[in-house]
Structure 1
Amino acid sequence: MAGAMDGVIGFLEKHLMPVAGRIGNQKHVQAIRDGIIVTMPLTIIGSVFLIIGNFPIPAYTKWLAETGIAEKLGYPVTASFGLMGVIACIGIAYRLSEKYNVDALTGAVLSLCTFVLVTPYNIPFLQDGKEIGTVGGIAFSFLDSGGLFVGLIMSIFTVEIYRIIVQKDIIIKMPDGVPPAVAKSFAALIPGMIILTVVWIIRLGLMYTPFEDMHNIVRVILVGPLTKIGGTYWGALVVTLLIHLLWMTGIHGAALIMGIISPVTYKLMAENNAAYMAGARGTELPHVVTTQFFDIFQSMGGSGSTFSLAIILFLFSKSKQLKEIGKLAVGPAFFNINEPILFGLPIVMNPLMLIPFVLSPVVVITITYWSMKLGLVSRLAGIAIPWTTPPVLGGALATASISGGVIQVISMVLTFFIYYPFFKIMDAQKLKEEQAAVSA
């Protein structure tokens, strides 16, 4: 086994690392990666409140709901996760501006303005379930992870125009002696006017198309066809691939994709629940793929089935940096939260981790689907358990059978061996960097 692992690691170092290095040094890739990291502290803070409010003890969650505490625990979550798209837009624009040696604060501010400019701001006002008008304001669904891709587009688009204008010296220059902050503000006037005018024209143009706004374009192009995907293995495979390929670019794939197909998966869950209540068991239940198939099995430890990776980082890291990430990540991983790994390791925008991050959930859904399809594991009973329920316990509860927990244990072993060789490469790199820093 050790020889095989060494062979895999040697192959990856020889063939994958040179390509990964070239991709990793690209300006836009670096800006996206470094900009999204800005969201990490807030998402970790929000995750703590999320765990407290969704701890998988029915009596506890019922008490939180009855006392109104559950709603109040959601406030910090909204203030962190609910602004992920906005924060990422600012962070990416700031880092990309730095790459081009233009004023980073101006680039970030202009990007935020263009993001708001392309975002709908009228919220439907409902009375007795009927829309009777609109209220001025931007819905959080445009500002959170659902708006992350639009934020990414607008930050890059804005900074590219901004740096071209600045590099061509089409700016207002103030006399010597004017405070730098004032000079920078005047230097931003012409670029800002041009950028906002261009984006304003784009928004007006989109209003006369079937898409209406940029957010709808993203939804239609990325996830429109997903509404036709049923509960088949191939449908689950496509969903899984899209979720994790989007995550690799910094987009919250689970929020984006599951937000579209959830009506389908909830319908399948309800049908399973009705059959279960009527006495159906095992293969008598109509569907394998439901909401819990993704929430509980595909996302053990979080997107990418990273539960095993969190354990690896915690137990086997020689690098101080990876060891600290492991300490930070292992607790949330038990509740299927993995932002410390996604943005701290990082996995997002990290070509080295692309293969295990995509392959692991594909392997998990494959063995889980066919084990349930063939009757080796009980199918999902349609029980709506929280997605924060720890692995093994979650599998057992979702299937109302110990077999659901067993297949999760098997999945953990397989994902351990998928992640381990890639972890070894990264750990060796980080350790070498740390040793070089000490000896310098």
Structure 2
Amino acid sequence: MSRLMDSMENTLMPIAGKISGNRYLNAIRDGFTLALPLIIIGAMFLLVANIPIEGYGEFMAGIFGASWADFFNTVFNATMNLMTIFVIWGIANSLAGYYEVDGLSAAAVTFAAFLVITPISVFEDANYIPFEWMGAKGLFVAILTAILAVEIFRFIVKKGWTIKMPEGVPPSVSRSFSALIPAFIILVVFSLIRLGFAYTSYETVHGFIFTVLQQPLTVVSKGLPASLVANLFISLFWVFGIHGAQIVGAVMSPIWVQLSAENLAAYDAGASLPNIVTQQFQEIYLQLGGSGCTLALCIAMLLFARSQQVKQLGRLAILPGLFNINEPITFGLPIVLNPIMMIPFILTPMVLSVVCYFAINLGFVPRPSGVIIPWTTPPIIGGFLIAGIRGALLQVVSIVISFFIYFPFFRIVDNQYYKQEQEFENEGAQGATTTF
């Protein structure tokens, strides 16, 4: 077992180091972090406007009038339906910070470049940019735009091809003139890109990316195999003390969020929901207590531990565990570099992936509504918010399954600690007798 652990560590650590140190993945993660509060707020407003209780809409209309839902839908349209704007701004600012160039200017120019390549629609002689490309459907183009635009911006600034103002000019004015040449070149480049795609069958960059890249990736990632692989690596990284959710999430979150947005759009339209694997599927059903679904382990430690050390750790870990934070157990039991506990830690989320996927696929539980709720939402509440009472019951079933997977391994570790405590007490008693 020790040789296996060493081999896995030697294989995974370099991979994790490269992923966690990748400036583009880090910038993408920061972009979604910036947008996440607004996405959550927009989704919650939409949920309030569409609570799945019979007669709810008529009841609200009777009190506030027929257009009562507009109050909530306006916030949804200004947040969830415009998520690409916030994401592209966050990515550009983060990547510019890595290169130590002006993040505000780089983000503003990047957003302008994105608008240049975004198709304009015409309705009754008026031009407008449709929400279609400002929401989840435009995310991939936004990500690629941010990376390319900031790389050009950085290259020009580092070469010194900027307008330098004399000393005494206010910094804000100087910064504006410094960005003038980079902005001009970037917008020319993106105008040429737009023009080039206009002569292809795809017509726009968005059409090309969505057809060739985004759609195939989304199709592959929405299935059970992708969920199993993602959760396998999340757990493997954690076993070696690396934040697996952040590492894997940097790659998968853009796709999971898009799948959630597709469900949310269908939910809003009253249509059938297309996806099972979404951001909510991952965070609400497969991370009960945190990565590895360790809430059941907390319960076992609290109720069945013989060792005082494990029982005390269970008392300390149960409250964070209810909010899906499990570092006290991960590093305290520990699970990290523990050849016994790594087995259920890896196995549990993969078993739950299969159970939850088929429970939803067979119609026992509704598909996730697409409402993005905080990952710290406690179990039962989280399941209810995304899938009603059956979603809450699925979480209960998942906790029970997790408990039975963890319990035999927990008992082994607990007995080890218990024997150590007994030996320590016996040694202490013998020492006291000898001294007397």
Does the TM-score normalized on the shorter chain lie above 0.5?
A: yes
Deviation at 1:152, TM superposition (A): 1.1
Contact 1:93 1:156 in 2 (8 A): yes
**C-alpha spacing 1:24/1:149, structure 2 compared with 1 (3 Å):** same
Residue pair 1:314, 1:326 contacting (<8 A) in 2 also: no
Instruction: Give the one of 280, 291, 306 matched to 2:287.
Output: 306
Quote the Cα distance in structure 1 between the aligned partners of 2:211 and 2:348.
Answer: 28
| Equivalent runs, 1:89-104 vs 2, <5 Å | 89-104=88-103
In 2: Cα distance, 1:108 partner to 1:90 partner: 5
Match of 2:41 in 1: 45
Is the CA contact (8 Å cut-off) linking 2:132 and 2:138 kept in structure 1? yes
Query: Cα 1:193–1:64, aligned 2, differ >3 Å: closer, same or farther?
Result: same
Distance 2:386 2:31 in 1: 34
Match of 1:391 in 2: 383
Identity %: 32
Unmatched segments (≥5 aa) in structure 2: 232-246, 299-312, 327-343, 372-380, 410-436
2:224 pairs with one of 214, 237, 251: 237
> Per the alignment, do residues 258 and 197 of structure 1 end up closer, same or farther by CA in structure 2, a change over 3 Å counting?
same
Q: 1:393 to 1:115 in 2, by over 3 A?
A: closer
- For the residue of structure 2 that corresponds to 1:120, the secondary structure is coil
8 Å Cα contact 2:121-2:128 kept in structure 1: yes
Deviation at 1:210, TM superposition (A): 1.0
Match for 1:23 among 9, 19, 25?
19
Within the candidate set 141, 145, 157, 2:148 is matched to 157
Give 1:349's aligned residue: none
CA distance in 1, matches of 2:386, 2:162: 59
Aligned AA for 1:154? T
Bigger-Rg structure (1/2): 2
Once residues 418 and 200 of structure 1 are traced to their aligned partners in structure 2, the CA distance between those partners, rounded to angstroms, is 57
Partners of 1:308 and 1:415 within 8 A in 2: no
Q: How far 1:136 moved relative to its partner?
A: 1.3
Secondary structure, aligned partner of 2:169: coil
The superposition leaves residues 190-210 of structure 1 with CA deviations (integer Å, 9 ceiling, x where unpaired) of 111111101100100101111
Residue 141 (structure 1) aligns with: 132
Structure 1 residue aligned with 2:168, among 174, 177, 180? 177
The CA distance in 2 between the partners of 1:107 and 1:395, in whole Å, is: 41
Cα separation, 2, equivalents of 1:78 and 1:387: 15
Equivalent position amino acid for 2:26 in 1: Q
Between the aligned partners of 2:216 and 2:369, the Cα distance in structure 1 is 27
1:37-116 equivalences under 5 Å are: 37-64=33-60, 67=65, 68-116=67-115
- The residue aligned with 2:206 is 215
Change (3 A) 1:368 1:305: closer
Aligned pairs, number: 344
Other-structure match for 1:278 = none
Letter in 2 for 1:305: L
Alpha carbons 1:293, 1:380 under 8 Å: kept:
no
In the superposition, relative to structure 1, how do residues 151 and 325 fare at CA in structure 2: closer, same or farther (>3 Å)?
farther
Where does the alignment leave 5 or more consecutive residues of structure 1 unmatched?
A: 126-132, 271-289, 331-339, 342-355, 374-378, 399-403, 422-440
Cα offsets for 1:26-81 (capped at 9, x unmatched):
22222222232111221232243233233332232453467432332121122111
- Asked whether the equivalents of residues 292 and 380 of structure 1 are also in contact (C-alpha less than 8 Å), the reply is no
C-alpha RMSD of the superposition: 5.2
- How far 1:391 moved relative to its partner? 3.4
8 Å CA contact retained: 2:140, 2:214: no
The answer to which of 170-179 and 202-211 deviates more is 170-179
Shift in alpha-carbon separation, 1:227–1:145, aligned structure 2, 3 A: closer
Contact 1:395 1:408 in 2 (8 A): no
For residue 166 of structure 1, report the CA deviation from its aligned partner: 0.9
How far, CA to CA, are the matches of 1:393 and 1:306 in structure 2? Answer: 16
Cα deviation 1:357-394 (Å, max 9, x = unaligned): 99988644534566799xxxxx4289899566963898
Structure 2 CA distance for partners of 1:416 and 1:116, relative to 1, 3 Å: farther
8 Å contact kept, 2:296–2:403? no
Give the structure 1 partner of residue 363 of structure 2: 380
| TM norm structure 2 | 0.61
238-247 or 154-163: bigger deviation: 238-247
Task: Answer whether contact 1:314 1:323 (CA < 8 A) is retained.
Answer: no
Query: What is the one-letter code of the residue matched to 1:96?
Result: L
In structure 1, C-alpha distance between the alignment counterparts of 2:59 and 2:31, rounded to whole Å: 39
Contact 2:120 2:129 in 1 (8 A): yes
Worse-matched range after superposition: 173-182 or 246-255: 246-255
Distance, in Å, in 2 between the alignment partners of 1:71 and 1:204 is 38
After superposition, where does 1:243-322 map in structure 2 within 5 Å?
Answer: 248-249=250-251, 252-254=254-256, 256-257=258-259, 291=274, 293=276, 299-300=280-281, 302=283, 305-309=286-290
- 1:225 to 1:412, Cα distance in 2 relative to 1, 3 A: same
Could you give the per-residue CA deviations for residues 327-373 of structure 1, whole angstroms, max 9, x where no partner exists?
7x67xxxxxxxxx99xxxxxxxxxxxxxx999988644534566799
1:35 and 1:88 in contact (8 A); partners too: yes
Q: Aligned-pair distance for 1:418?
A: 9.7
Indicate if the aligned counterparts of 1:85 and 1:151 stay in contact, CA closer than 8 A.
yes
Q: Give secondary structure in 2 for the equivalent of 1:171.
A: coil
Secondary structure, aligned partner of 2:69: helix
Q: Distance in 1 between matches of 2:136 and 2:219?
A: 23
Deviations 1:245-275 (A, max 9, x none): 99643654246457789999xxxx98xxxxx
Q: 1:391 aligns to what SS in structure 2?
A: helix
Counterparts in 2 of 1:226 and 1:324: CA distance versus 1, 3 Å? same
Correspondent of 1:366 among 347, 354, 369: 354
User: In structure 2, what is the Cα distance between the partners aligned to 1:106 and 1:112?
Assistant: 10
Give distance in 1, aligned partners of 2:171 and 2:406.
Answer: 49
* TM-score, normalization by structure 1: 0.60
Cα offsets for 1:372-420 (capped at 9, x unmatched)? 99xxxxx42898995669638987977xxxxx98766444555789999
